[in-house]
Structure 1
Amino acid sequence: MTEPSPIKWRQLANELRTKIQDGTYPPGSTLPQLKAYSRELGIHHETVRAAYKELEKEGLIRTIQRKGSIVLEPPIRRRITRGVTVTRDPARGYVFPAASRPDEPWQVHGQPFRKVLPAPAEVTNWFEVDPDSEVLRRRRVTSPAGEPPFQLVDTWLSHEAVESAPRIADPSPGPGGYLDRLEEAGHGPIDWEERSIVRMPDREEAKLLEIAQSIPVLETTIVGTSALTGRAIEVTVRVIPGDRVELVGKLQRGGSAQWPVDPVQPPESAA
């Protein structure tokens, strides 16, 4: 296979990037077909392919089979304040620290999906069941109204949860959602623990979030523990494209960092 010229493909990527930014190729438009464009420019098609791949890595385009390379809307980077307070909305139920603003409408992309299927290792570990055990998963893709997909949300519900609160398997579990049904069944008050990692998306995640697989994602996992049994009964995994979010937290001064400086204050342990 012919290797693309680094100078040529970088130059072409720069030119196309400029045309995307100045509106020559607006969001929703399609870049020229790869081989026809290479003939027009008099360069090898692998050079054009390399330029397109670079733009896809940057999140400017998305290549879809049989549709071509489509110019994406510029991502809206939203702030997530990493608080630890769970609040409650009378209409929606529990509200976790997230990127939404008060009263901001959100939309669901496609149809929410629920199915019993083999769970990933981290979920079976939390539920203390055998690896690859089948568990109920509720999946939805959501975003603020009018924006492209912002997050992929998978909620895994233990067998114990479904048995004690069967309505959580319904498409619409009722006011307050599945969490209210669990607490009504005796598992309240539920305690939650959250953890976050940054990783690369798999092919299905990239497709649902409409991003290239080369764009990292932020994954946050919230584990809900039953007050009745002391065991995990629900695990919710959120996957958010890395170019659409920034984490914000307010720093606080420790005792040794007060102003004015106290010269006799012993230093705090780094641990």
Structure 2
Amino acid sequence: MATPKWRQLADDLAEQIRNGDLATGEALPQIRELTASGAGSTTTVQAAYRALETEGLVRIVRGRGTYVRQQRTRIVRESQARYQWEKDRALLSEEERRSTGVTEKETGLDTPHLAFQATYDAVEAPPEIATRFGVEPGTQMLRRSYRTSSRSETAPIGLISSWLVYSVAARNPALLDSGREPWPGGTAHQLRTVGIEIGQIEDRIGARPPTAYETKVLDLLPGTAVLVLNKSSYSADDDRLVEYSEAVLPGDRHEFLYRIPLDRWPS
């Protein structure tokens, strides 16, 4: 089957964007210019531009034109390998743990090229969180909010909220200090400092339209969904929930990769 003309045009422009022939912020030709040059009908050019916007390569500004969008860092998240890698690093020396982290590993960016922001506060457990942890509503919790971004971009990679039982985190006062973020070795090492080994992690992933706040903060184009990752970490000793987090991730820059070995059939 022949490739539609709008797709050919979109692919040609996408290649120009990716190789730098069309720079960030540069305006794409007006639709009438492309139609006059024989690139296709108005409908063809409009379809190509809409496809480029859906793919996150351009931004269409009504009444002004179509502009090359700054390319966003792409993240491939391989959860099974990621969590084992984090757990193994919890046993390393501080110097080794400081050398790199999971965000650097997944984005391919060095630590100096990343901007980290963490906010901690002590709050009473809302009913949903209390139910998850099996504690009484109102139990004091440590709520941690994270944003990480490339220093070349304004929008964060995602919005993350993490919960720990406050009395558990308080066993190591350093865990109550957001100024120590990014913590070398991440949550796996933080929990190790209070005698907890993570034995199992459960991920639940869904998708939904973003809120107005998420659209603004994550710099989402119209029609872009967010992925919502609910992560529950359980203790290896007694299988109790020790950390719960929710990550809101832009659907245009996150990909989940799973490699699942299957048992052989009996011979």
Give the TM-score category using the shorter length.
0.5 to 0.7
Q: Tell whether the 8 Å contact from 1:113 to 1:138 is kept in structure 2 after alignment.
A: yes
Tell me which residue corresponds to 2:56.
Answer: 59
Do the aligned partners of residues 57 and 117 (structure 1) sit closer, same or farther apart at CA in structure 2, a change above 3 Å counting?
A: farther
Deviations 1:37-61 (A, max 9, x none): 9xxxxxxxxxxxxx99987655345
Deviations 1:121-169 (A, max 9, x none): 6533322345687633222222456466323222222223233233212
- 194-203 or 72-81: which moved more? 72-81
**Could you tell me which amino acid in structure 2 is paired with residue 156 of structure 1?**
W
Q: Does 1:199 align with 2:200?
A: no
Tell me which residue corresponds to 1:3.
Answer: none
Distance in 2 of aligned mates of 1:135 and 1:179: 18
Distance in 2 of aligned mates of 1:209 and 1:225: 30
- 235-244 or 105-114: which moved more? 105-114
Q: How many residues align?
A: 235
Between structure 1 and structure 2, the one with the greater Rg is 1
Tell me which residue corresponds to 2:221.
Answer: 212
Tell me which residue corresponds to 1:42.
Answer: none
Deviations 1:95-146 (A, max 9, x none): 9977825984245546322233566665333223456876332222224564
Greater percentage in helix: 2
TM-score (norm 1): 0.59
- 147-156 or 124-133: which moved more? 124-133
**Could you tell me which amino acid in structure 2 is paired with residue 154 of structure 1?**
S
Do the aligned partners of residues 183 and 250 (structure 1) sit closer, same or farther apart at CA in structure 2, a change above 3 Å counting?
A: closer
Do the aligned partners of residues 215 and 182 (structure 1) sit closer, same or farther apart at CA in structure 2, a change above 3 Å counting?
A: same
Query: Secondary structure of the residue that 2:105 maps to in structure 1?
Result: coil
Distance in 2 of aligned mates of 1:242 and 1:132: 34
TM-score (norm 2): 0.60
Q: Does 1:250 align with 2:265?
A: no
Deviation at 1:241, TM superposition (A): 1.8
Q: Tell whether the 8 Å contact from 1:151 to 1:239 is kept in structure 2 after alignment.
A: yes
Deviation at 1:208, TM superposition (A): 2.9
Q: Percent identity?
A: 26
**Could you tell me which amino acid in structure 2 is paired with residue 185 of structure 1?**
V
**Could you tell me which amino acid in structure 2 is paired with residue 80 of structure 1?**
R
Deviation at 1:195, TM superposition (A): 0.9
Distance in 1 of aligned mates of 2:238 and 2:259: 35
Do the aligned partners of residues 222 and 96 (structure 1) sit closer, same or farther apart at CA in structure 2, a change above 3 Å counting?
A: farther
Q: Does 1:87 align with 2:88?
A: yes
Q: Does 1:73 align with 2:79?
A: no
Do the aligned partners of residues 71 and 109 (structure 1) sit closer, same or farther apart at CA in structure 2, a change above 3 Å counting?
A: farther
RMSD: 4.9
